Amino acid sequence: MTAPLVRALRGEVLPTPPVWFMRQAGRFLPEYRAIRAKATFEDLLYDSDLAAEVTLQPVRRFPKLDGAIIFSDILVILDALGCGVVIPEGGPRLTTTLDQIDPDILLDEKVFDSVQAALRKVRAALPPEKALLGFAGAPWTLLAYGLEGKGSKNWVRAKAYLHQEPVKARKWLDRLADAAARLLNLHIAAGAQGVQLFDTWAGELDREDFTEFALPAAERTLAQVTDAPRLYFPRGILPANLASLSCEGFAVSWQVPMAEARDLFPGKVLQGNLDPTSLLAGEAVAVRKARAIVETMKGRAHVFNLGHGLLPETDPAVLGAVIDAVKG
């Protein structure tokens, strides 16, 4: 059988939308915290048994979820390019930034071996009606992290680099685009039935810079991935010039009304887009807002999700109530 989530990602309109959540494998679950009490984040990333286990945890807790997304991190690509990614409790840091590396460096694909092994283990454990998703970071978002060397409130160094070093910036964006495509194709080969390209910092660029730098690089990635449905997630924005992008659909940020996205992109699958903080406001608020999104998307190919990732403070019981409300 074809999993409902895969059917929706291919454009099929279903009686009720399939459901999964960004960051559903993570800190809001007590069972995840129990594992993290004994293992570092890097242990989870590079131990396929641990990665598979935390990927499966939310599907076990919430049987109505329609899919699992593999536990990994968008920065593994930067690790494979020699940036030396470390992830302490305060957030990821790079020992070497991209401007200190030759863009022609070979991609060390051995870094990806553990996530492929985890994907195979999860796919073997999932029932056929549950879909397995893979993901990668989009080129602009990876460039932002790769130049700053850590998280940032405004990405000043990376944004300035686009104009101070436009030739080098484009070379790196192309290099990162090809690396992201390679990773997504490896995820698909290992069992992923759909993939999402996370452009977490797309909304930090003005429209001109997004169109000139980030969008062509995202297109370069997505055009190389053809064996599974593709979602693009430009966090914070959803401009009309995405319509011709080589993907089946868009993950819609909570900042963009679903009705607006529905009208802008009649030919695309749409995913989203409950504000994650709605879950912190309690069951009544979260359920009301979730039902409104489902009603807005009736008659369209829709995957219910959040407009970004689950927050650590989320009450699993509230999330369960939202799933029940969406699934009926």
Alpha-carbon distance values, 258 to 114, 204, 311 (Å): 36, 21, 21
**Catalytic residue (choose from 7, 46, 66, 73):** 73
Tell me the DSSP string of 39-96.
Answer: S-HHHHHH-HHHHHHHHHHHHHH-TT--EEE----TTHHHHHTT--EE--TT--EESS
**Catalytic residue (choose from 10, 27, 93, 157):** 27
**Catalytic residue (choose from 10, 36, 93, 170):** 36
In whole angstroms, give the CA distance from residue 306 to residue 288. 14
Question: How many other CB atoms are found less than 10 A from the CB of residue 49?
Answer: 11
- DSSP code at position 328: -
Does 23 qualify as catalytic in the annotation? yes
Strand arrangement of the beta sheet that strand 67-69 belongs to: 67-69, 131-137, 194-199, 230-234, 249-251, 269-271, 302-303
- DSSP code at position 303: E
Whether omega for the bond prior to residue 154 falls within 30 degrees of 0, making it cis, is: no
Does 288 qualify as catalytic in the annotation? no
Nearest to 102 by CA among 166, 149, 172: 172
Does 145 qualify as catalytic in the annotation? yes
CA 3 from chain centre, in angstroms, equals 19
Does 36 qualify as catalytic in the annotation? yes
**Catalytic residue (choose from 32, 46, 123, 145):** 145
Pairing mode, strands 93-94 and 85-86: antiparallel
Contact 221, 153 (CB under 8 A): no
Contact 124, 161 (CB under 8 A): no
- DSSP code at position 210: I
Strand blocks (E) in the chain:
67-69, 85-86, 93-94, 131-137, 194-199, 230-234, 249-251, 269-271, 302-303
Q: Which residue has the tokens 């992923």?
A: 192
Does 230 qualify as catalytic in the annotation? no
Active centre residues (catalytic): 23, 27, 36, 73, 145
